[in-house]
Amino acid sequence: MLIPINYTIRSLLSRKLTTFLTVFGISLVVFVFAASLMLSYGIEKAMTDTGSENNVILTRKASQGELASQISRDALNEIANFPEIEKSKDGTPFFTMELYTLINLYKKATNSMGNVTIRGVAEKSFELRPQVKLIKGRKFSYGKNEIIVGSNIEERFKSCKIGSVIKFANTNWTIVGIFSTDGSGFDSEIWGDVNLFMTLFNRGTIYSSMTFKTNPKNFEIVKQKIAKDKRLNYIEPKIEKHFYKEQSEMMSSFISVLGTSITIIFSIGAVIGAIITMYSSIANRVVEIGTLRALGFKRRSILIAFLFECMLISFIGCFIGIFAASFLQVITISTTNFGTFSELAFSFELTLDVIKYSIIFSVIMGFIGGVFPAVRASFLSIINALRMDV
């Protein structure tokens, strides 16, 4: 025979202060745990949203990204003739060669220097990335010292408003537009004419990367062609979405490890708090437990009742923690991406996985915090309990 659930609920309500403190402790731990996961997922989302499954990006092998990548124009022109590359509206191959480099600008908040990505693009760069939308001003004119900046750059760096002039590559550049991609990594970049950039950065005919559109089914064909050609086998093709996801892995892993370490420390305190609460509950309810045993309730019922009590506290704390963490989604964080060494802005991202892992984590905490006191309560002697001789 099981003890009624309302008995457990009444016992919690009768100890409001200790119950509140335990719930608060667990909710705080879950909040930290969920926040670290949300940060990790936020970084990953910002980078994966940067790419597309239908685009392939080419960089130099072992370059670890576009910044250190160098590919000759002749090699890229050779690949541009591959029949697997889709044709654009004008009947020409749907590709773009781009320059990727970094400059330093002053941040608004700290007045310190931060690395900002400069991307030299061509007309088809915009066609390949339809998520890029101008939200202010206009697109830059090719052949002129004009640039457009991502929405995160406008928000976080000085002199990055429309009409402002910034200097890099010994040249003054006028900002004529602000673009947004709804939170992807492109929002933390500055775009301009690739041909001007190539000249002013003294790159000659060496580009950073090439991106083209193709059917995902043709990716392996393109990959094999490049690998078999001795003139091209120093080039590494990747699905654009996967490429940018890899760029976030180092930073995402660091935040996950750091968040987990902090959470473990906090969780030890929360579990100890739950154990103390449950042992205190047992000490104050010895006669009750003895009476329940005398009425015929088995040890198993006592065990389940006390374990359920601690699990219920844990669940309440879990959902309060997740609810509090959900408000972090309005916050945008800007920091240096370890993979690209450039400024990256991202938001906390609450996903079903975050909720699932937070619940699992709280269940484990609740079980560890309740199982030992519950076992002790279930093994109390009926006679000793009624005499309060424990």
What's the pLDDT tens digit per position in 219-249? 999 999 999 998 999 999 999 888 888 876 7
**Cβ burial, residue 154 (10 Å; 0-12/13-18/19+):** buried
Strand-pairing partners, residue 71, are 207
What is the C-alpha to C-alpha distance for residues 305 and 370, in angstroms, rounded to an integer? 10
Instruction: Kindly report, residue by residue over 342-371, the tens digit of the pLDDT.
Output: 667 777 888 899 999 999 888 888 888 777
What single DSSP character describes residue 329? G
% of the chain surpassing 70 pLDDT: 82
Q: Residue 303: which of 292, 319, 315, 318 has the closest Cα?
A: 292
Place of tokens 């079903």: 352
For residues 354 and 38, is the Cβ–Cβ distance under 8 A?
A: yes
What is the C-alpha to C-alpha distance for residues 283 and 286, in angstroms, rounded to an integer? 6
For residues 253 and 1, is the Cβ–Cβ distance under 8 A?
A: no
Place of tokens 């690209």: 340
What is the C-alpha to C-alpha distance for residues 153 and 156, in angstroms, rounded to an integer? 5
Instruction: Kindly report, residue by residue over 118-129, the tens digit of the pLDDT.
Output: 999 998 999 888
What separation in angstroms does the CA of 60 have from each of 48, 72, 76, 94, 321?
Answer: 20, 10, 11, 20, 45
Q: Is 4 a residue whose pLDDT tops 60?
A: no
Could you tell me the pTM of the whole model? Answer: 0.74
Q: Residue 142: which of 176, 165, 169, 118 has the closest Cα?
A: 176
Determine the pLDDT at residue 327.
92
